[in-house]
Amino acid sequence: MIFFSVILLCALAGAQQREPNPAFAPIQDAPGLPRVLLIGDSISIGYTLTARGLLDGKANVHRIPANAQTTRHTLSSLDPWLGKGKWDVIHVNWGLHDLRIMDDGKRQVSLEDYERNLRELFTRLRMTGARLIFATTTPVPEGPVSPKRFPADVPRYNGVAVRVAKQHGAAINDLHEAILPKLADLQRPDNVHFTDEGSRFLAELVAASIERALP
C-alpha cells in the first residue's frame, strides 16, 4: 500500500512539473484590437503576463509558446511562431543564450554569427509588415552564474544588435540601461533572472514601448 502511495505521489509531482507555464497559453483575440507578438527568452517569459495585463483593452498580446533561446534556434522556429495571422507590433529580444559560455569555452553563438542571424531575422520580420521593437539584453551580474556568462559580453552583443535593429527600422527598448542601476534590488542573487518586482519593472517598460508603436 505504501509502495503504491509513493508511486501516486511521484506521478502527481511529475504532472505538476509538466504543467505548462501560463505565459505560453494561447489567448483569444478581442475584436478590433491590434495584435502584438512577444518573441524572447526566459526574461521575456517573466514579463509576459504583466505586460499583457498592462495592455488589456489596448492590444491582443501574444507570445511564442516557448523560450526563443538563441538567434539560431529562433531562425529554425520562426515560421510556425509567426503563423498566418497579421501582426501589428513584434517585440523581440535575443542575447543571453547566444553569449552563454559552453563547455568548450566558446559562446553558444559567436558575435559574428549573432550579427548574421539578426540580419536574417529582421529581414524576415520586416516582411510581416509589423512595427518592430528590439529589447536590449539585460545585465549579467558579476561573479559566478550558471550557466556561465561574462558580464562584459552583454554590451558587445547589445552594440551589434542595436546597430542591426536600427538598420532594419526597429525601435529600441533599452531594458539594459533602464534596469542597470536597480540590479541590487531587482535581480536575483548570482542569477541573470529577476525578482517578481524586477519582472514587473521590465513589463512596464515593454508595455510602454509597445503602446507607443501601436497603430
DSSP assignment string, 13-80: HHHHHHSPPGGGS--PPPTTS-EEEEE-SHHHHHHHHHHHHHTTTT-EEEE-SS---SHHHHHHHHHH
| Residue 118, C-alpha cell as written in the block | 539578426
CATH number 3.40.50.1110 given to 33-213: yes
Provide the pLDDT for residue 4.
Answer: 41
- Domain ranges in the chain? 33-213
Provide the pLDDT for residue 18.
Answer: 63
Q: How far is CA 116 from CA 113, 120, 197, in A?
A: 5, 7, 35
Ranges of the chain whose pLDDT falls below 50: 1-9, 11-13, 15-16
Provide the pLDDT for residue 28.
Answer: 96
| Residue 154, C-alpha cell as written in the block | 552583454
